[in-house]
């Protein structure tokens, strides 16, 4: 396992997770809860059927040890057939979204379905996928943060069909 030094602090393990089913995705989602993602740091590559993003993940494992840290992390999904967005404006690439959860809804033809990235404030991205195949990897520096994330999920709008 690789480690990343935290300035004037301990070495932290680099997280690498691969999700191949909804249970794996739930674990990945727990590690991504409250990740901050810049709209301009998300992309869909239709020719490769890949959706990818880079964000600043709050390290919940470090928080359980009394440390408040964030880490740059990359997340990508394979076998993406279509991407739908709600309240995500591509013409505002510097807007920051707070990722609340990553979930899977099975479709009529297993193992396909929809992966939903739910953000605070009712924003969402739905990925129609052939199957669950995702990878999360810490890719950059860690830094201390002043506060533990908190958010209000009231008023979250449902995703239009």
DSSP string, 77-121: EESEEEEEEES--TT-TT-EEEEEEEEEEE-SSTT-EEEEEEEGG
Report yes or no: 79 and 49 within 8 Å, Cβ to Cβ: yes
* Distance of alpha carbon 27 from alpha carbon 77, whole angstroms: 15
Nearest CA among 149, 145, 147 for reference residue 6:
145
Percent of the chain with pLDDT over 90: 78
Report yes or no: 114 and 125 within 8 Å, Cβ to Cβ: no
pLDDT at 151: 55
pLDDT at 121: 93
* Distance of alpha carbon 105 from alpha carbon 90, whole angstroms: 25
pLDDT at 32: 97
First to last CA, the chain: 42
Give, for all 161 residues of the chain, the pLDDT tens digit: 344 444 444 556 789 999 999 999 999 999 999 999 999 999 999 999 999 999 999 999 999 999 999 999 999 999 999 999 999 998 999 999 999 999 999 999 999 999 999 999 999 999 999 999 999 999 988 999 998 987 554 544 444 33
Domain residue limits, the chain: 18-141
pLDDT at 11: 58
pLDDT at 152: 56
CB-based burial, 71-102: b 16+ in 10 Å, e otherwise = bbbbbbbbbbeebebbebeeeeeeeebbbbbb
Read off the tokens for 4.
């990343």
């Amino acid at each position: 396992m690789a480690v990343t030094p935290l300035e004037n602090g301990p070495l932290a393990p680099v997280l690498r997770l691969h999700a191949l089913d909804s249970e794996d995705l739930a674990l990945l989602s727990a590690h991504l809860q409250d990740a901050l993602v810049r709209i301009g740091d998300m992309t869909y590559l239709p020719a490769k059927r890949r959706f990818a993003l880079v964000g600043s993940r709050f390290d919940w494992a470090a928080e359980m040890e009394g440390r408040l840290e964030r880490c740059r992390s990359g997340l990508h999904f394979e076998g993406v057939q279509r991407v739908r967005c709600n309240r995500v404006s591509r013409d505002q690439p510097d807007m920051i979204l707070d990722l609340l959860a990553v979930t899977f809804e099975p479709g009529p033809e297993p193992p396909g379905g929809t992966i939903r990235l739910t953000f605070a404030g009712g924003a969402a991205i739905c990925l129609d996928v052939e199957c669950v195949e995702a990878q999360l990897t810490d890719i950059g520096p860690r830094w201390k943060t002043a506060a533990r994330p908190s958010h209000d999920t009231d008023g979250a709008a449902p995703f239009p069909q």
